[in-house]
Amino acid sequence: MGTVTPLSFATKAIPQQTGFERPELMRILDLYGRMVAAGHWRDYAMDFHRDAAIFSAFRRAAERPEYRIEKRPALRSRQGMWALVSEAGAILKRGDELANVLAPVERKLMKLVGD
């Protein structure tokens, strides 16, 4: 008979990429759909890296994204894993809760719909 070698599962594997969970993505796409309906956004992109997942929203496809919603789990215990980044690259809002980070965009949507 052959020799059976046990596999070592004790080491924790480093994730190959960071992604959005379903409720997070549903919340982001809901906001995106409402902004499209208001005529403000026209395109989006999603990037998945080892340390971050990024949702970018564009007014037009040929421009830089108006907003980037970034999820960086490594910053969870320090600054919060969610960040809202402007077109110029400035961090507008940071936090642990996605709803709080999306609040400035939600307020902008209310102004767009109200006009």
Note the pLDDT tens digit of each residue in 74-104: 888 888 899 999 998 899 999 999 999 999 9
List pLDDT tens digits, range 36-58.
998 889 999 999 999 999 999 99
State residue 94 phi and psi, 5-degree precision: -135, 145
- pLDDT, position 82: 94
Rounded to a whole number of angstroms, the distance between the first and last alpha carbons of the chain is 79
Domain boundaries, the chain: 22-114
Amino acid letter, 97: E
Q: Coil, strand or helix: which one is 23?
A: helix
**Rounded to an integer, what distance in angstroms lies between the CA atom of residue 91 and that of residue 78?**
15
- pLDDT, position 55: 96
DSSP state of 38: T
Of the candidates 102, 113, 78, the one whose C-alpha atom is nearest the C-alpha of residue 28 is 102
